[in-house]
């Protein structure tokens, strides 16, 4: 089993700022689109209340999904940090592994025994 290198917990929990590359629309883009639609509508024939409510519900759903996604990313980073800490607890211990293969890094040394 390959164990990835241990990184600092501080680095894994820092929020990333991602820029929208133009290929995907974010919640700010949808809000701007809604405002543009409202400002450009015909005052004599405004958008119906049902249509407006549907758009607001879609916008609210988008915001909730964005928040859930951000929370899942935090949970994933915490799980990675927990796994790294669990791997640290194996230093200096005898580990029994079942299988017939192991991996070896070129610049590292391993002590192997067979019983």
Q: Does the residue 74 lie in any domain? A: yes
Mean pLDDT, the chain, as a whole number?
Answer: 77
- What would the pLDDT profile of 65-78 be if each residue is shown by its tens digit? 989 999 999 999 99
pLDDT score at 73: 96
> Predicted confidence band at 15 (pLDDT cuts at 50, 70, 90)?
very low
> Does 55 map to a domain?
yes
Cβ proximity of 80 and 12 under 8 Å? yes
Question: What are the tens digits of pLDDT across the range 17-76?
Answer: 455 555 677 778 878 888 888 888 888 887 788 888 888 888 888 889 989 999 999 999
Identify the pLDDT of residue 108: 82
- Overall number of domains in the chain: 1
Is 57 domain-assigned?
A: yes
Residues in the chain, overall count: 115
Residue 95 in any domain: the answer is: no
Q: Which domain holds residue 60?
A: 48-83
The alpha-helical segments, DSSP class H, found in the chain are 9-13, 27-39, 49-88
DSSP H or E stretch at residue 41: none
The reply to whether 68 falls in a domain is: yes
* The pLDDT of residue 74: 96
Does the pLDDT at position 91 exceed 60?
yes
Residue 69 covered by a domain: yes
According to the model, what pLDDT value does residue 23 have? 65
pLDDT at residue 70, as a whole number: 93
Q: Is residue 27 part of a domain?
A: no
């Amino acid at each position: 089993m390959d164990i990835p290198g241990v990184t600092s917990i501080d680095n894994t929990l820092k929020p990333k700022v991602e820029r929208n590359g133009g290929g995907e629309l974010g919640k700010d883009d949808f809000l701007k689109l809604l405002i543009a639609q409202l400002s450009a509508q015909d005052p004599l024939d405004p958008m119906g209340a049902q249509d407006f409510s549907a758009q607001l519900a879609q916008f609210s759903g988008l915001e909730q999904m964005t928040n859930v996604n951000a929370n899942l990313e935090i949970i994933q980073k915490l799980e990675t940090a927990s796994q790294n800490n669990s791997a640290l607890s194996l230093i200096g211990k005898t580990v029994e592994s079942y299988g017939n293969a192991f991996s070896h890094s070129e610049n590292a040394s391993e002590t192997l025994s067979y019983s």
